[in-house]
Amino acid sequence: MCELYTGTIKNLVLRCNLEQGRYFAPYETSIEHISSVDIDKTHLLLGFGGHNGLFECWDPRDRRRVGIIDLYDSAPDLIPTPDITKLKFGDDGLSLAVGTSGGHVLMYDLRRNKPLYTLNHRNKIGIKDIHFHNHSDKVISCDAKTIRFWNKYSGRDTSDIITTTYPFVCLFLNIGVIFVAQEQHRIGAYYVPSLGVAPKWCPFLDNMTEELEENKSRAIYTDYKFVPREEIEALGLEHIIGTNLLKPYMHGFFMDTRLYRRVRALVNPDAYETFLKEKTKEKISQERSNRIVIEGKPPAVNSSYFKHLLSKQAEYRPKDKKGDIPVEMNTLTDPRFNDMFKNKDYEIDMENDIYLKYHPEIKYALHEWAGDNLNEQDEDLKRYMQSERQLLGKFMLPQLLEEQDENDENGEKQDQEKSEWEEIRKNTQNAYKYKDAIEDQAKKDEVYDMNKFAEDYGSDNDETEMRTLQLEGDED
């Protein structure tokens, strides 16, 4: 019997008899969309897989379904339930590999409805092809990016091949070369020694593999620390020499790093604090290496200015490490200024009038520092202090007196302006008082005239007329 089975977008599987050249009645399944079909070469069992994670097994002799598995119940860890993209039966008659749209490969035993293990490609891309390599007991699965080789019994990933196209794998029995169909005009050929030997038509591949095995480097112990024999004796671990805890190498031993740290912590509990102190001293010494180190006496040239800079440097403590260093500190750290304290041509003349005129801040800073830190044995500073007092009396006192006279004149002007304003205010108040007195006197005179007019006429009948005259006077 020679038949061709074709899955459709419906629940039908088409049957085409290649001997008779005609279609037979299709198989009606419960799968809406059939995307993969495979046949077991041992007992001719048919497998159909597709939408919603369903796959069925049919017996072509009875033309009926003998089993169905739903990934929703069989593999509940796969959420949401993926579609089945590839089915592949093993050559032993019991193995079945199921590839899903989520990048998982489930390995089944036909006698069970639960998978033995699940392989994850970690790409979340549908599985395109699956093959069983019986000679090496490997399972080969591929998606759009990688080809992975798994151990058939343990499910451990042994090797990977990264591709940039959609591959389909073709295998040959008992050899280690695989061919990969890709979306390009060339067919990819890969040699995997773990699958098998090289074919007869390219024996040079075996020679290359043997050379690589001969040049295999010695294993490096990444989690071990080399400890010389003297340190082993200092730690009191002579009794473990010859055991598996110490691996002899050269003039010492390899020791597990965790064990070494525990022993050091027990023997010297203050080792960590000592280590921190040593690191702190190293950092401080590195920062001080750029400074000018004083050995013995200060320099003969500009010694006062040198001591002044040292005192300022000791007082300077930057709050922000990213902050800018003051410009005056560069004189001690920059080697370009070394001649300033060695060559007498660069000596600063503190008594020079021109220098004091253009650098008064240095004179005052030196004066303040010398007054606070004057030493009886420092004769240079004493002489400097005397010259400073003389210069202060010679140049600064007249200037202070002039400033005081200017302040006095400004104060007198302010007092004079204040007295003038008070006099104007008083005159204004007197003028208003004088105006009010004149208005009161005018009202009194008007009342007196009206009373005198009434006495002269002496008639009560004329009151109306008199009131009329008074109203007219008010209107005028």
Show me where the domains of the chain are located: 3-207, 224-272, 302-315+328-359
Identify the weakest region by mean pLDDT among 41-50, 137-146, 318-327.
318-327
Name the pTM for this structure: 0.45
Residues of the chain above pLDDT 70, percent: 65
Mean pLDDT across the stretch 342-356? Answer: 76
Residue 15 pairs in a beta bridge with: 5, 24
Q: Cα–Cα distance between 201 and 282 in angstroms, integer?
A: 66
Q: What are phi and psi of 432, to 5 degrees?
A: -65, -40
Q: Cα–Cα distance between 300 and 438 in angstroms, integer?
A: 92
443-466: per-residue pLDDT in tens? 666 655 555 555 554 544 444 444
What's the mean per-residue pLDDT of the chain?
76
Q: Cα–Cα distance between 22 and 436 in angstroms, integer?
A: 139
* Residue count of the chain: 476
Token output for 384: 């400097």
Identify the weakest region by mean pLDDT among 90-104, 107-121, 255-269.
255-269
Q: Cα–Cα distance between 204 and 198 in angstroms, integer?
A: 8
Q: Is the pLDDT of residue 193 over 90?
A: no
Q: Is the pLDDT of residue 169 over 60?
A: yes
Identify the CATH assignment for 3-207 out of 3.40.50.10320, 3.30.70.100, 3.40.50.300, 2.130.10.10. Answer: 2.130.10.10
405-424: per-residue pLDDT in tens? 565 566 565 666 666 666 66
pLDDT of residue 428: 65
Q: CA nearest 45: which of 99, 93, 84, 116?
A: 93
pLDDT of residue 471: 45
Which letter does DSSP use for residue 76 in this model? T
11-49: per-residue pLDDT in tens? 899 999 998 889 999 999 999 899 999 999 888 899 999
